[in-house]
Amino acid sequence: MILSIESSCDDSSIAITQIKSLKVVFHKKISQEIDHSKYGGVVPELAARLHAKALPQILQQTQDFFPYLKAIAVTTEPGLSVSLIEGVTMAKALSIALKLPILSVNHLKGHIYSLFIEKKAMFPLGVLLVSGGHTQVLQVSSHDNISILASTLDDSFGESFDKVAKMLGLTYPGGPIIEEYAKQGDDKAYDFTIPLQSSNKIAFSYSGLKNQVRLCIKEQNNTLSEKMKSDICASFQRVATAHLMQKLKKIFKIYKFSNFAVVGGASANLYLREQLNKLCPDLLVAPLQYCSDNAVMIGRASIEDFKDKNFCNLEDITINPKIKIFT
């Protein structure tokens, strides 16, 4: 079995996965959403302090599995440095205490493997990754051969939901609450412009759309009824998604994918899934509980590295908070 740890942002999570059967035998996640909600976004130092408390609490529940462990997997990149360090420190301590090798896992690769929980992986694959930190289209040829075909020039898809929610006085994270409000709203009530429409550039941008929403709220003198909030959420969600669809259509003309998937925290958005399904009827998605950050996807990704004996030297294990460009 592999014990995997995820602490790249604001979720403390540990999982244990059987190597041969891919079966998940333990999973626990303590989310810090409520703690960060009053600040409208993740406060790194607070996140680190909460990881330091939550990770040992979860680890204590895994002790019966220790004799069966063959490796410790941990997210080392990308993410908040102070948060990543908490998981990596625990992985190092376990590695020394239990005399086990460490597997270093890229968080974005983890999201890709959320498609293959308790399942055999299937490549090649085109992937739309929509999370709080990233908006990318990836060509995944194999476990070790991933290239970025498009990414965002500024804010990410999920981040734009978080920022719009903050402007509307809604809770953090913004994605789920905006999706809820949007269900009651008229998505044509506000005619926001789809970003980069007239540009041939294969890239995404969300800062302009965020600004359109900001100006729209300002025009109402910052006093918004619940109906107006719902209409703004519905209109914003429609345009934010339409932008993804327009650029994906361009990408699909250039690259022919035999399979296409959507992953990342924002892939839980059902409106987005519905629109993507129109474009790719055979769209692959992860189970809803594994869309947002979790250690199960990290454990699943690490199994491929375990098979290749792709272990890390304890002295060499480092965190890389910045966006990792796949090669």
From 269, 295, 297, 305, residue interacting with ligand KG4 (rule: CB under 6 A): 269
From 62, 131, 230, 235, residue interacting with ligand KG4 (rule: CB under 6 A): 131
- Which distant-in-sequence residues (6+ apart) come within 8 Å of 217 by Cβ? 167, 168, 224, 232
Query: Would you list the DSSP string of 91-155?
Result: HHHHHHHHT--EEEEEHHHHHHHGGGTTS----SEEEEEE-SS-EEEEEEEETTEEEEEEEBSSS
- Say whether residue 78 binds ligand KG4 (CB under 6 A): no
CB of 20 to ligand KG4, least distance (A): 28
The Cα angle at residue 10 between residues 108 and 321, in degrees rounded to 5: 50
- Say whether residue 84 binds ligand KG4 (CB under 6 A): no
CB of 114 to ligand KG4, least distance (A): 9
Alpha carbons 250 and 252: distance in angstroms, whole number:
5
CB of 133 to Zn ion, least distance (A): 7
Binders of Zn ion among residues 123 to 152 (CB under 5 A) are 131
Binders of ligand KG4 among residues 282 to 301 (CB under 6 A) are 292-293
Element (H, E) at 285: strand 284-285
Which of these segments, 80-88, 127-135, 225-233, 305-313, binds ligand KG4 (CB under 6 A)? 127-135
Residue with tokens 């990408």: 251
End-to-end CA distance of the chain: 29
Secondary structure (3-state) at 77: strand
x/- map, 244-283, Zn ion, by CB under 5 A:
----------------------------------------
- Say whether residue 173 binds ligand KG4 (CB under 6 A): yes
Residues that bind ligand KG4 (CB under 6 A): 9, 131-133, 158-159, 161-162, 173-176, 179, 264-266, 268-269, 292-293
